[in-house]
Chains A and B, each alone.
Chain A
Amino acid sequence: MLTNKRSQATLKSTLTFSGITVNCIKKLKKWEMSGLRRVAWDWDKALKTYRPKPKRFELSIWHKKHWLCSASIGKPTVKGGKLRLDLMESNPNGSSIDGLVTDINVLCYEVYAQAIGATELRITNPVNESVRDYYLSKKGFSYNQKKLLFSGSLKYDR
């Protein structure tokens, strides 16, 4: 059972995970037209820059298979020692996992990092101070002002 920031409960089993599919891109287009986003960049264009990267990690999280809760994309660095979480967006209209989207995404990226042998997770360009402070409260993450990213070392002996 998960509890979102409005104290509403959601069964874990109602969540499904996928890559960024055609259906997901359609939903992302709707987000872009909602006028509720914090920024205005185009997911479709961003995805095109990642498609040639075979080790990219793309993730969409769905509630009851039809409500897109979040989408994110990242990729390992050239030598593969670090995994970058480059873009992450939660549904601007809200979802059943509001307040948990970041943590669920980071958890999935950690597992992928383990699979590809990366030992560090980097979260780039946190959108505002609220998000930045949230990561700073997480154990193991530090903020690099110059590169505008968070670095978190991944401990595999937990």
Chain B
Amino acid sequence: MTGKKRRELDPDDPDDMEKLRQYAKKAAAKFNPIADPDFEEKGVLCGDGEALLSETEEELYL
């Protein structure tokens, strides 16, 4: 299920940190190290800083 919080890992717990390392390894393994030559990736990629600055506290947490 998405959007439902799981248990937060404890940075002081060696078991939790090992779990995180294993997760990072798995995530990195699916990373494609070769860029798509047609993907225009320059400057701002996501985000609207001006809108963000005018967001209310409630909107910030949508």
Contact = CB atoms under 8 A, between A and B. Distances in A.
B33 interface: yes
A98 interface: yes
Interface in B1-39: 1-9, 11, 20, 23-24, 26-28, 30-39
- Dominant secondary structure at the B interface: loop
How many A residues touch the partner, as a band?
35 or more
Interface stretch (A19-27, A57-65, A118-126): A118-126
A6 interface: yes
Interface residues on B, range: 35 or more
Interface of A: 1-7, 12, 36-39, 41-43, 45-46, 49, 77-82, 85-90, 92, 94, 97-104, 107, 110-111, 114-120, 123-127, 130-131, 134, 147, 151, 153-154, 156, 158
